Amino acid sequence: MSDTHRLNQGAVTWLTLQPSQPGACREEPLWVAVLESLAAVDRDSHVRALVVTGSWDLGANPFDEIARLRDVQAALRACNVPLVVAISGPVSATGALLALAGDWLLAEDSVRFNALSTALDVGEAMGLPWLLPPAMSDASVEPQRSIPPSLTSRQAAAWGLVNEVTAQGQLRARAVEVAWRLAQGPTLALVAARRLVDAAYARSFAAQYRAELDANRVLRESADGREGVRAFLEKRRARFRGS
């Protein structure tokens, strides 16, 4: 049966996707397990960063699962802590749609992203274009700049689809390093920035400007905001707590 495995390592939690077989995007237990795990992360005030890893070969034809994919992707984007996605093995169209929800994407150099054109097609129905890097988003609407149906991890990095490519066997160590760096940072501000970016496409300039001012006020008045000011004045490293 498809499932997830959640492992707490101090301030960093690992969520491992465990489909029962490749192409398991139609298996309801997988989606239920992902949503329940994300809800548990949001309830745990000790968690300050989340790494999602496991199998990304979740099915090459996600059209039948648009509603569920939208729910899972929305839950990933709404996560209360920074989200690192660590990718190894083949990535299907469905896997790519979920992986793009991460704040920082790492991929081993052997990774191959398959059926990207399918991911882009179904992504139109999910509002995916605003998750794409500019070069790829432009290519999706310009026939002369067509996106290859399959990309290596290094090609994906060149397109801006992933942030880093790691050597074989180094993915987990690098994911730990990135997650801990994010966990020690101003996580309230990092998540607020993500949410402001996500909402910007549906707002007018004036509305977005007001939302950013409001977010800035809330962050300044938070315990982390006050700690940041104190640390600056005392010329020391800030000790953020996510509150």
Delimit the domains of the chain by residue range: 3-183, 187-233
- Cα–Cα distance measured from residue 51 to residue 105, given in angstroms and rounded to the nearest whole number: 10
Look up tokens 């982390």; give the residue: 224
Put simply, whether the predicted model's pTM sits higher than 0.75 gets the answer: yes
Q: How much is the pLDDT for 195?
A: 93
What are the backbone dihedrals phi and psi of residue 241, each rounded to the nearest 5 degrees, phi first?
Answer: -125, 0
- Cα–Cα distance measured from residue 58 to residue 97, given in angstroms and rounded to the nearest whole number: 10
Q: How much is the pLDDT for 118?
A: 65
Residue 60 DSSP SS3? coil
Q: How much is the pLDDT for 124?
A: 55
> What percent of the residues of the chain are helix, what percent strand, and what percent coil, each to the nearest 5?
50, 15, 35
Rounded CA Rg of the chain: 18
Q: How much is the pLDDT for 51?
A: 95
- Cα–Cα distance measured from residue 131 to residue 28, given in angstroms and rounded to the nearest whole number: 25
**Residue ranges for the chain with pLDDT beneath 50:** 1-3, 141, 143-144
Second-level CATH architecture of 3-183: Alpha-Beta Complex (3.90)
Strands 3-9 and 12-18, bridge-based pairing: antiparallel
Q: What percent of the chain has pLDDT over 70?
A: 76
216's CB contacts (< 8 A; 6+ apart) are none
